[in-house]
Amino acid sequence: MSKVVSRRDFLNLVGAIGGTSALIQASTALGLMPGTAAASELNLQAVPANGKSAVILGAGISGLCAAYELMKSGYQVTVLEASHRAGGRVMTLRSGDLVDELGNRQYCDFDDEPHLYFNAGAARIPSTHNNVLHYCRELGVELEMFINENKAAYFQDDNLMGGKPIRNREFSTNVRGFLAELFGKLFSETELMESFSREDAETLLSVVSNFGDLDEQMRYVGSTRGGYASGGFLEHGTAHDMIAIRELINRRFMNEVLTANEGETGPMLMQPVGGMDMIIKGFLRPLGERVHYRSLVRSVQVSNDSVSVEYEQNGTTHTINADYCFNCIPSHLMTGIANNFPTDYLEAMRYIRRGEAYKAAFQAKERFWEKDGIYGGISWINAPVRQIWYPAHGIHKQKGIMLAAYDYGGGMHFTKMTQEQRLEAALAQGEKVHPEYRQYMEKGVTIAWHRMNHMLGCSARWQRDRGGWTDDEENLYHRLQQSVNGRHYFIGDQVSQHSAWQESALLSAHWALQDMDQRQRAQAGA
Amino acid sequence: MIARVKHVLILAALMLFSMQVAAQETEQEREPFDDRYCMTCHGIDGVGNFGVQAPRLAGMEPWYLERQLKLFRDGLRGKHPEDTEGLAMQPMAVLTDESITDIVAWVGTWEYKPAPATITAGDKEHGESLYQTCATCHGINAEGNESMNAPALAGQNDWYLVTQLQNFKAGYRGYRDDDVYGSQMRQMSGVLQTRQDIIDVVSYINTLRKL
Ligand SMILES: Cc1cc2nc3c(=O)[nH]c(=O)nc-3n(C[C@H](O)[C@H](O)[C@H](O)COP(=O)(O)OP(=O)(O)OC[C@H]3O[C@@H](n4cnc5c(N)ncnc54)[C@H](O)[C@@H]3O)c2cc1C
């Protein structure tokens, strides 16, 4: 039996001093909102130049970060990367690039111009991701703002308003009006005064009224905040008709839309100028020849004082022995590579499942959306493509690259399609928002992460149930985070409890480096 | 009129020429790729990979390997909407005959090591009695029998054998009459009535060695 909270109780709770801040603290503890912290301080003990060695498996951002930090501390480092490129899930596509999706290899045919690129994997940097930002600063990666929410962008749902797209500002104004009116209907001023002072009650009601742009009777009768149907500058503007919001918010799709700009994807977000892989290039510059491409790791054998790695490059097998090994190869691929890891470690690796995210993009012949008043941001479509993104960079240039689909998991809808089917689906669904969409679109690319060579997934899925991590899952995770013999470390966002973010990948590398450092210091002290 | 036609012809010839040059140039610059990508999923040297549910290929009979690749390519296997793993493999086999020949030879160079047993809890005695039917085609030691068109089962990843037996039973594999051998095996899967039967027979197969 759950305890029913009366309206009176509820008001007392809300009215109690500190009520809301207590709530915020509680939610941080529950891990709902990542707590803010400074960039983690790495203070690795320097070793005599090339006195110790490390081999890094996979040139994902975590591997490159580990290699870079170790190099700075005097280690001899070698990075082995199976693919023709570095960066893993940090992948920016430009003119001529190979999309190594197995069963659907493509070359990206965008025009060759600096603003015509597509971030096919990571695309957004939240301002709370201190370590990503720290490396951008240190590596000289120039940043610009990324626009996630744009009040001029659209929402479209075939089952609402005859499928007519509506602007975000119209939608959100109506939602606010509706919620505010609801509040006004629930609590009268007299009722509120039982828990608040008269002054507080008045303030509260005026805030609510302002929030929803209500009239004196606390009714929502439409608002010009949703934009004008006509006029507005030389003549008075007339507001749009109200929309049947009850119908609107009673849908899962809208639920998703309403939370899309909160938390980690809330403002401000950033992106590197010229593509997300500018961060990767930043790491690669100092690492130089230490990174070996098309080098497929075949075997990892850990002993008490070293790690032996066998890899294949251009048909020849090589072996490297190193003091340490940092490994960001996706766990579901590592299970197919020879190793002598302990059984509980293997069990953890076998437990993790892989996600299915999918993205598509077109080059647009003309930035038609800017003529429609849209500069950056996302339109939402209640269809498999889910979102279309308008580039905020390259404003008023001739062409632009537009994200045409982003299915961030929970199905293989697009993955199963042929390239032609994928592109056609993206066009047909984009047309729901912009009737002229198809005529402007050229040169499409699609990326099904579930099938990308040497990756085969968009991110690690530790949780089997939505309810939270089970004790078993916690144990398996903590086991995988530990080293094997203090010599081999698994890294990458797969070894974090918040996968699918570069920040987690970097922090996993830091965790491993610090653990190694502590062991070394302890040894030196002993 | 004639002059104009000539003009157009020269123009067309010129365009063709410049297109060829362009194609050559881009081909040179472009990152090459080939069809030998099987290890990403099937593990290094085809040892099998649980993480991707892709079975061992090392040591596989060349005739069986080739047949399966062609079945996948032609959509006779891996097209049923419920066959999750088959659907993952199917587009990987959209290859030319030459490529298939190359791959079969390449896979043939991988050293065979029996896959480690992970399913051992079944009733092996019951499994053994169930296996008597299977032995007619797959051999007493599950070593396979080319004349019966039946591949080796010993040494294969046991989790994969379980998926296949379930898929045959459910009609996700061997669903088409023109898949002669698959549909034959689909009928034989009727011998295994329950999931426990499948676990039992696979536990028994795990005790067999092909060489
Ligand atoms: C669609 C999508 C959207 C995303 N959006 C964002 C975002 O907006 N912001 C954000 O911060 N993050 C985002 N992420 C997450 C971010 O991309 C990842 O968290 C991060 O890139 C993971 O880095 P990693 O170090 O774990 O390695 P990975 O990128 O997983 O790299 C692993 C490397 O190992 C290599 N490898 C594999 N097998 C072998 C082998 N046998 N031998 C040698 N090398 C091998 C691979 O080729 C690869 O380079 C997104 C990811 C995806 C897929």
Sign of CA dihedral B113, B119, B123, B126: negative
Q: How many CB atoms lie within 10 A of CB B62?
A: 13
ipTM: 0.88
Angle (CA) A135-A141-A147 rounded to 5° is: 100
Domain assignment present for residue B211? The answer is no
Among B107, B141, B156, residue at a domain's last position: B107
Residue B69 to residues A198, A349, B73, B90, B96, Cα–Cα distance (Å): 79, 29, 6, 8, 10
* Cα-based torsion angle of the residue sequence A472, A478, A481, A487 in order, rounded to the nearest 10 degrees: -110
CATH classification of A92-152+267-275+356-451, choosing from 3.30.70.1400, 3.90.660.10, 3.40.50.880, 3.30.565.10? 3.90.660.10
Residue B25 to residues B16, B20, B30, B110, Cα–Cα distance (Å): 14, 9, 9, 37
Does residue A461 belong to the interface with chain B, where contact is any CB pair within 8 Å? Answer: no
Q: Structurally, how many domains does chain B consist of?
A: 2
The range of the structural domain enclosing residue B47 comes to 2-107
pLDDT at A1: 38
Counted residue by residue, chain B has a size of: 211
Atom of ligand 1 at shortest distance to CA of A297? 42
Whether B143 and B95 share a structural domain: no
Domain assignment present for residue B113? The answer is no
Given CATH 3.50.50.60, say whether it is the number of domain A53-85+289-348+467-525. Answer: yes
pTM score:
0.92
Q: Mean pLDDT in each 10-residue stretch from start to end of chain A (526 residues)?
A: 56 51 38 53 85 96 98 97 98 98 97 98 97 98 97 92 90 90 83 82 91 93 89 87 72 79 90 98 98 98 97 97 98 98 96 96 98 97 96 97 91 92 98 97 97 96 92 96 97 96 97 96 84
Whether B26 and B99 share a structural domain: yes
Give the CATH number, domain containing residue B35.
1.10.760.10
For residue A457, the CA-to-ligand 1 centroid distance in Å is 9
Report cis status (omega within 30 of 0) of the bond before A268. yes
Output the 3-class SS for A121-155. Answer: CCCCEECCCHHHHHHHHHHCCCEEEECCCCCCCEE
Please name the residues in contact with A396: beta carbons below 8 A apart, sequence gap of 6 or more: A367, A370
Chain B residues near residue A107 by CB distance under 8 angstroms: 30
pLDDT at B211: 66
Residues whose beta carbon lies within 6 Å of some atom of ligand 1: A 57-63, 80-83, 88-90, 121-124, 296-297, 328-330, 333, 337, 357, 359, 449, 454-455, 458, 492-494, 500-503, 505
Which residue's CA lies nearest to atom 21 of ligand 1?
A: A89
Among B60, B80, B107, residue at a domain's last position: B107
Q: Domain residue spans in chain A?
A: 1-35+168-220, 53-85+289-348+467-525, 92-152+267-275+356-451
Q: What is the DSSP letter of B147?
A: G
**What's the CA gap between A365 and A164, in Å, rounded?**
25
Whether B142 and B189 share a structural domain: yes
Domain assignment present for residue B159? The answer is yes
**Along the 211 residues of chain B, how does pLDDT read in single tens digits?**
344 444 444 444 444 444 444 444 555 579 999 999 999 999 999 999 999 999 999 999 999 999 999 999 999 999 999 999 999 999 999 999 999 999 999 999 999 999 999 998 999 999 999 999 999 999 999 999 999 999 999 999 999 999 999 999 999 999 999 999 999 999 999 999 999 999 999 999 999 987 6
Domain assignment present for residue B118? The answer is no
Q: How many CB atoms lie within 10 A of CB A459?
A: 26
Answer whether A98 sits within 8 Å of B41, measured CB to CB: no
Answer whether B51 sits within 8 Å of A454, measured CB to CB: no
Structural contact between residues A379 and A485, judged by C-beta atoms closer than 8 angstroms: no
Q: CA end-to-end span of chain A, whole Å? A: 58
pLDDT at A339: 98
Task: Indicate the SS3 state at residue A334.
Answer: helix
CB contacts < 8 A, A to B, total 71
CA distance B111 to chain A (A): 13
Whether B139 and B186 share a structural domain: yes
